[in-house]
Structure 1
């Protein structure tokens, strides 16, 4: 018999604590956090802050509680960029109640429609997908003996050929039905898509729709007169870019049909390609279509044809465009105008654009726009200008608009002289952005920036000086990226950089010269911000411009 332990070493009987059924009792330091004690609203706020949908998808797989809270956040912004993605997503909606159909707020559709009959024999790498996600190789006349057509020879080796997946007509009908079922949808984007005629009926059923974008898409065949009831749509923001369709000279032109979206009574923002079709329609000079344009327009972006088809500078300095002048004359409420791909000056009456406050456009149009208009914010979009070009035009701009508050330029190569020009001519600037393609400011320039230049801008709030690449051209209409699978938005957080401390020490003294300075950008992918005077500078991720999703070149 083993000897008994001393009383001091004997185990004491501790009364058992009351533990909830199904939960194991652990010491206080080892207890897990009770997820149910955190309010649902706080969890939802956390889920909404997660920028990557794949991360959020992993969260909803952890437990039923997170699934119930995060599933609505996950389906608030949807993307159908692949036929198989739509097929798998449609199975989810088959078992949801009506309240779930009120969750989606934004939907992007990027699917191509193809009839397999005319194309299957000539392009066996094109696969047509049905609504349930299945596809029949026989539809494309593909047999096991023809599988070699999916490969091509490269350096003596056979490499897999890229396979493109297209939606069948039945899948497009299912897409139209699905769009109509999302009754609370506020944003709808079609990109690289084929539009069925039934999509207009679906759009009219969305009474909460505010933002509509149709770009790089093929317009549906139309055999009826335009629908005047499109003016009753509740949309406030419309984008129509790089779409392919019939000529407006046809009896029932799909280009003219879709332009009736521009007659929405509450439209405030319009982004559109300016060509002969839109010119005749929006100038109210189309002989067959007399419409009434909304008077609520305040923000207009016009994308002209590529600059290579316009006269070279020096050959013609002014180019009158009567339809454009007529359109702008009929829209006196415009406060922000953006012009893309334009090289020659406008020839407008001085009464056009009486309320223009913000202008974004090429170098050659600046003087004709600023004259006799209340412009306070100016962005020059040319990315191939040298210092001599700015030295010539900035004194004239300063004479016309000495109280300019925003000035943004893009230089081919960095030169310190641009800073001397700005400090001499514009003392009331609130925002300065200087982007350059090559070169960089010297260390001495950066160290003396506050004492030598910034003190001349006592009201400066935003300063951007960084190296950037010229904007890429718009994507081709026939670019098909469905084979690579659905695209997912990626969250860009502030990355740790060993130079961050140096940047912070560089901008700290600037508050002495510019007490209102709140934002500084010295690299392309991040900014430094502070909330108020005396606040600490913090590196933040660069917030993307809301217009980026519409391919605005800036």
Structure 2
């Protein structure tokens, strides 16, 4: 067939099947027609982690009109600074002002001061540059035009009402990921009804808290209420939720003492719950928040009873022996957790197990694993962590299951 007679839509479908950006770059150089089509495919996944990247990429959208509907995944790590806070500012034309500060708003001095302290404490000013107000506005207008955006990721972003407005303005949004973000003062934030969001997948990890006051290098006063972010977990269409101790929606939203009064309901069709231990990084300042040492606490086991559709549960935490959680999860088929906890899953038609060693000696662990296949005859896959196991445990697993080792 003559390539010239192939419809552009078909070529675009073909190009979107190419995973490697290098392949798309090669296609871009072959002809003007392929250039215009491959550029659209190349920008189905857009990453703007720095203001400099935004300045470099923005002209392409004006030079190639019509690309916006083809963007499906967007990763944003760019913030602006409110008045009264100085930082390295990148202008819309690419010019740099290393110590710029917009005029402060007098009636917002307390909030500005706390945000300034927060940026200093987390060393964000030394690691990041910020978009000027003009660049930030242009950037948001462009993002708003990505009408078919299905996945949105925020990393190290200073959240304001504008970010929540963006989330609510994307009708095709299904997956939302927040990590290392700082949020504006709760009392200054607008109230958003997150239950109406179309998202089905939500991940919130390493959420930062604003610093009220630095007492010394190790002791600070924190502003703990980030309810306006945690209530994203109330989206009624939510199917999958991943959290760590910095985003304990189980305790502060689903299990809040006034949840019923406030209409905070666990999404009925929630199928997957992933509870992670907070990861530490040498490159990031991470505080121990109040209550983190006991995460997840007993609230989890009462809230699980409100998740009748749950099919997948992953947690690093060893459930207490007296809990009555598992009998209330009739559809549970996939489980990941400490080896010891599988004895609390009696009679379950578990199809996939993820195991790691916790709480008992090696000999006890071997005895537990020896019974895994007997306990779960329908299980087809077992994944375990070799870092927390032993060679003897490995052999036991390999005799029982088609095992994959982490």
| TM-score tier after normalising by the smaller chain length | 0.7 to 0.9
Count of equivalent residues: 356
- Partner residue in 1 for 2:283: none
- Whether the aligned pair in 2 keeps the contact of 1:191 and 1:214 (CA below 8 Å) is yes
Query: C-alpha offsets along residues 193-226 of structure 1, whole Å, 9 cap, x if unaligned?
Result: 2223211111111111111111121123333576
- Partner residue in 2 for 1:89: 57
- Partner residue in 1 for 2:266: 293
Q: Does 1:168 align with 2:140?
A: no
Work out the CA distance in 1 between the residues paired with 2:177 and 2:361: 35
What is the correspondence of 1:267-346 to structure 2 with a 5 Å cutoff?
A: 267-274=238-245, 277-278=248-249, 279-286=251-258, 289-304=262-277, 321-340=297-316, 342=317, 345=320
Work out the CA distance in 2 between the residues paired with 1:206 and 1:254: 26
Distance 1:134 1:210, change over 3 A: same
TM-score by length of 2: 0.74
Q: Which runs of 5+ in 1 are unaligned?
A: 1-32, 121-126, 141-161, 310-317, 436-554
What is the correspondence of 1:10-49 to structure 2 with a 5 Å cutoff?
A: 36=4, 40=8, 43-44=11-12, 47-49=15-17
Q: Which runs of 5+ in 2 are unaligned?
A: 102-125, 212-222, 281-287, 289-293
Report how far residue 233 of structure 1 moved. 1.0
- Whether the aligned pair in 2 keeps the contact of 1:319 and 1:345 (CA below 8 Å) is no
TM-score by length of 1: 0.56
SS at match of 2:161: coil
- Partner residue in 2 for 1:261: 232
- Whether the aligned pair in 2 keeps the contact of 1:385 and 1:410 (CA below 8 Å) is no
- Whether the aligned pair in 2 keeps the contact of 1:274 and 1:303 (CA below 8 Å) is yes
| Among 24, 27, 38, the residue aligned to 1:56 | 24
- Whether the aligned pair in 2 keeps the contact of 1:128 and 1:166 (CA below 8 Å) is yes
| Among 77, 81, 100, the residue aligned to 1:110 | 77
- Whether the aligned pair in 2 keeps the contact of 1:210 and 1:235 (CA below 8 Å) is yes
Report how far residue 373 of structure 1 moved. 3.5
Distance 1:89 1:303, change over 3 A: same
Report how far residue 388 of structure 1 moved. 3.9
Report how far residue 163 of structure 1 moved. 7.1
SS at match of 1:296: coil
Q: Does 1:131 align with 2:121?
A: no
Distance 1:132 1:364, change over 3 A: farther
Work out the CA distance in 1 between the residues paired with 2:96 and 2:82: 13
What is the correspondence of 1:94-243 to structure 2 with a 5 Å cutoff?
A: 94-95=62-63, 97=65, 99-114=66-81, 118-120=85-87, 127-137=88-98, 139=100, 164-223=128-187, 227=191, 229-243=193-207
Distance 1:304 1:354, change over 3 A: farther
- Whether the aligned pair in 2 keeps the contact of 1:77 and 1:104 (CA below 8 Å) is yes
Report how far residue 268 of structure 1 moved. 0.5
Larger Rg: 1
Distance 1:360 1:277, change over 3 A: closer
